[in-house]
Amino acid sequence: MVVAGDAAVAMNDDAATMELLRFLASPEAAGVWAARGGFLSPNRHLTADDYADPLTGQVAEQIVSAGDSVRFDLSDLQPAAFGATVGDGMWQTLQDFMADPSDVEATMERLEAEAAQAHGE
């Protein structure tokens, strides 16, 4: 299963920061977000019934049951400047290609150049 994701990152390890991260990883926090809609959680303690609608609940259960077969999509595996910034990098190049797919070679060259720049090469 290929997914996209966001992560919470601690910039320091003080007690309040660590407590916030523990809460964000808890079933209680995930349940609040799931009930509001527009959110999928890998938290194994949620059920399909915790979600705002049945389809979202089914998708969430599939993510959890996929276990080690879950993979993050390309945009999550790249530096943000290349992979996931609206109007920049791969995101913009592929949008431009979809609007005018006439030059595959130029699109590939542009992607290579932008990837090299984002990776500091």
Between the alpha carbon of residue 47 and those of residues 9, 60, 77, 86, the distances in Å are 26, 8, 28, 33
Other Cβ atoms within 10 Å of 103 Cβ, number: 12
Q: How confident is the model at residue 8 (pLDDT cuts 50, 70, 90)?
A: confident
* pTM of the model as a whole: 0.68
Cβ atoms of 10 and 21 within 8 Å: the answer is: yes
Closest Cα to residue 104, out of 57, 112, 52? 112
Domain spans, the chain: 2-72, 74-118
Give the pLDDT confidence score for residue 26 in this predicted structure: 95
Give the pLDDT confidence score for residue 74 in this predicted structure: 85
Convert the pLDDT of each residue in 62-121 to its tens digit: 999 999 999 998 878 888 878 877 888 888 999 999 999 999 999 999 999 999 988 888
Q: Is 89 left (phi over 0), alpha (psi -120 to 50) or beta?
A: left
Between the alpha carbon of residue 1 and those of residues 54, 56, 60, 67, 85, the distances in Å are 19, 15, 11, 9, 23
Convert the pLDDT of each residue in 23-77 to its tens digit: 999 999 999 999 999 889 999 999 999 999 999 999 999 999 999 999 998 878 8
